[in-house]
Amino acid sequence: MCDTFVMMPEMTADGSVIFGKNSDREPNEAQALEYYPPAQYPPGQKLKCTYLEIPQVRETFATLVSRPFWMWGAEIGANEKGVTIGNEAVFTKMPLNRGVENLTGMDMLRLALERADTAQNALDVIINLLADFGQGGICGYEDKKLAYHNSYIIVDPTEAWVLETAGPIWAAKRVTDYYSISNGLTIGEAYDEAHPAIISTASKNGWLKKGEVFNFAKAYSDWFFTTFSACKTRQQRSSQLAGQMDEKSTVSDAFAILRDHGGITPYRPDRHFLMHHVCAHSANGLSRHAAQSTASLVGHLNPTLQTFWATGTSAPCTGIFKPIWFDGNVLPDLGDTPAGSSDSTALWWRHEKLHRAVLSDYSTRIQTYRDERDAVEQSWLEQTKHIMQASRGEFCQQAFQQADGLLADWTGMVQAVDIAEKPNFVYRNYWQKQNSKVGLTII
């Protein structure tokens, strides 16, 4: 489960394109924030994706990706040309393929970043991969039955596309002002490009009645899973926030959208049953297990400069966004690649000590450091407006180092705060089990 949005130049204060995504997955499914340099390959080279081996291309672009540690594909990412993509699980009436003979939606996302220099070309890459290899495979970490189809927001510094799929069928729409997607199909009667059999397939299966106007989302959506993912609530909220700012939007506003809990104050993550909020927190094994925001990325895209802001951690409401450019070494050393158990050498797991301590009494403990976190981010945002190219790599390194020191300080501060109001028993029991699985002791 995820949420992705884009705001086009007419919606932003500086005429840039601003992209944001939260990747929502299982709570112990650590994500790796990684940089891969450009590369060249000999003819006939093969590439092993998550399940399927496919032909490699001769040349790939440099990429920045966030991927669940166990898969090759990525949930969010960008490349050196400014192409930036986020995907969503969507649930449709078309059959699912749980075998290993297809590419996952995350594979297609990463392949598009490696192979495309514009949003239009990335759209074409995914459409061609869908036709050549199909989409499928198990996409859950612990849940070995979870499979789904995919939707995408694909952007570059000048344009953006929404691509939504149902098995091999797809529809694409160019974004003109702003757009957000969650875990349901959103493209209706109007689209700019589509699979040639999009209408005939719906008619053949009885999803389009004679005389009805064709609506892609209405015809192809699976009602049950789409409804109980609470995607409509989240999509409406992110769309409202992206499109109804009192003033034109900034990168700070993108951070706020990804941290949004529906405007509820004080917010308590144990107080709702479904996955209702853009900033998502797992809470039970039934309706909110694969519901933890495990990675977040914001892209600030101008034709002459693209700046990316990543947490490299779960829960953007408890984490801090750090600036990244495709300059120098791109990423500092983030420690070991996180895996499926607690590891103090990995940034993602170091942050989990803080994140899960906050979850023990969210409304009380988040106040311990939230203002300081926001002030540090604002300082970095101001500094990055004027930074020279030669200094970007060093600034990124320093920001990550400063954030790591703050992480240690904040963890100690939060753990020292007495719990004023315990969450309900189901919630506490759920998190105790999750922490036990990975060897985390939370104070």
Determine if the peptide bond prior to 38 is cis (ω within 30°): no
Packed helices 347-359 and 389-415: angle between N→C axes, nearest 10 degrees = 40
Q: How far apart are CA 81 and CA 345, in angstroms?
A: 32
Dig out the tokens for 52 from the structure.
């399927």
Check: CB of residue 357 under 8 Å from CB of residue 314. Answer: no
Strands, DSSP E only, in 220-266?
Answer: none
Q: Do 176 and 182 touch, CB atoms closer than 8 A?
A: no
CA distances from 204 to 149, 172, 197, 207 (A): 20, 22, 10, 8
Residue 428: in which H helix or E strand, if any? helix 425-438
Is 49 among the catalytic positions?
no
| Residue 170 near residue 127 (C-beta atoms within 8 A) | yes
Say which of 2, 279, 317, 396 is annotated catalytic: 2
d(CA 286, CA 283) in angstroms, rounded, equals 9
The interaxial angle of helices 370-384 and 251-258, nearest 10 deg, is 150
Sheet holding 76-79, edge to edge: 31-36, 63-68, 76-79, 84-90, 149-155, 160-166, 169-174, 193-194
* Tokens describing residue 176: 């003109």
Measured CA to CA, the distance from residue 273 to residue 136 in angstroms comes to 29
Tokens coding 129: 């991969």
CA distance 59 to 72: 18
CA distance 12 to 369: 29
- Closest alpha carbon to 349 in 334, 360, 338, 333: 338
How many residues can be counted in the chain?
A: 443
Q: How many whole angstroms separate alpha carbon 410 and alpha carbon 421? A: 20
Residue 173, token pair as written in the block: 């729409």
Radius of gyration from C-alpha coordinates of the chain: 21
DSSP label at 259?
T
Query: Rounded distance, CA 84 to CA 154, Å?
Result: 6
Inter-residue contact 30 to 69 (CB < 8 Å)? yes
Residues annotated as catalytic (active site), given as ranges? 2
